[in-house]
Homo-oligomer: A and B are copies of this chain.
Amino acid sequence: MSNSTKSTMYIPTYEDVIVAHERIKPYIHKTPVLTSTRLNEMTGAELFFKCENLQKAAAFKVRGACNAVFGLSEEKAKIGVATHSSGNHALSLSYAAGQRGIPVTVVMPRTAPQAKKDAVIGYGGKIVECEPSTTSREAVFAEVVGESGADFVHPYNDPRVIAGQATCSKELAEQVENLDAVIAPIGGGGMISGTCLTISNIAPDVKIYAAEPLNADDAARSFKAGHIIADDAPDTVADGLKVPLKDLTWHFVSNHVTDIFTCTEEEIVDAMKLVWKTMKIVIEPSSAVTVACILNNPEVFKGKRVGVIITGGNVDLDKLPWMKN
């Protein structure tokens, strides 16, 4: 696979996914698929939760990050990698760079959860803070890369990253037979693009749904409008889903996604607490968006075997969204 370039958009293939999976296997978990009788009863569907909250760095993003980092030449690797991220990509890239022993710098909104900042530093990453808007983030980042010459690993609009994320639904399809649908959260679209890349190749009859907070519904509006609509600084408890689609992820979303559903902030928090309570796993708000959207659209999922991507588990245990502070 050629590296990401701005001028000519390289669209990753399923061959790239196979290569990615072999490359990253030593550094990631094959995460378990969990089921819940209670949630099946509540939704009328058979839900198969692909638990990337139990992944290294507690997020699927370690897949794309490892694929990018371990695909670098020795020469490029020495200079290091850099990125901007609302959180999980930052700590995943830090984890990946730590595994290879190369430098990593991340530009991060100053409002990002402390737990995520601590994790980045714990993996040996260097943090440069920016304001919580896409504009500020990109400006600060340009400076950082200009100075260091580090390889930019975009959190989602990068073919190496998308091929890496695509290994998640590759595993899911190996773990669960005869799925009717897969649903994943959508922010910038990295996970959903990886899902499209895999599923459209190996199981083209499986429907692909995306789930998005109503408060940051730029992907749903883009999907309806037929072109990318980007909001600068949407506000949602699902802090991983604030970023807009880009050309590469739009390619996959516009070609392969069946529908994009939305849910309110209250529905996200309720779904998050429901999963903690019934499944006994710690998931972050962004991961609860899929469950909220399934509960909002029972007619779509009833009687279906549905893969549900639980994207991550990085939350601040001292600031849970259902607790009064």
Q: Identify the A interface with B (CB < 8 A).
A: 32, 34, 37, 53-54, 56, 58, 115, 273, 276-277, 279-283, 313, 317-318, 320, 322-323
Chain B residue numbers with a CB within 8 Å of A282 are 276, 280-282
Give 15 CB contacts A-B under 8 Å: A34-B54, A53-B280, A54-B279, A54-B280, A54-B281, A58-B280, A115-B277, A277-B317, A280-B281, A280-B282, A280-B313, A281-B281, A282-B282, A317-B320, A320-B320
User: In the bound complex, how far is the Cα of B283 from the Cα of A34, in angstroms?
Assistant: 16
Chain B residue contacts of A115, Cβ below 8 A: 277
A13 shortest CB reach to chain B, Å: 32
List chain B residues, Cβ under 8 A from A276. Answer: 282, 317
How distant is A275 from chain B, measured CB to nearest CB, in Å?
10
CB distance from A124 to the nearest CB of B (A): 14
Closest B residue by C-beta to A32: B32
Bound CA span A276–B318, Å: 12
A281–B318 Cα gap in the complex (Å)?
16
Give A52's nearest chain B residue, CB to CB. Answer: B280
CA distance A32 to B280 in the complex (A): 13
A34 to B53, CA, bound (A): 13
Contact residues in B for A277 (Cβ distance below 8 Å): 115, 317
Q: Residue of B at shortest CB range from A34?
A: B54
Name 7 extra pairs, CB < 8 A, besides A282-B282, A317-B322, A323-B323: A34-B54, A37-B56, A54-B280, A54-B281, A280-B283, A281-B281, A317-B320
Task: List the B residue with the shortest CB-CB distance to A283.
Answer: B280
Distance between Cα atoms of A53 and B322 in the complex (Å): 22
B residues within 8 A CB of A320? 317, 320
Residues of B within 8 A of A283 (CB): 280
**Among all A-B residue pairs, the 6 with the closest Cβ atoms:** A280-B313, A280-B282, A53-B280, A32-B32, A58-B280, A276-B282
Please tell me if the beta carbons of A318 and B313 are within 8 angstroms of each other in the complex: no
Give min CB distance, A276 to chain B, whole Å.
6
Chain B's closest residue to A56 (CB) is: B37
Which of B37, B313, B318 sits near A322, CB closer than 8 Å?
B318
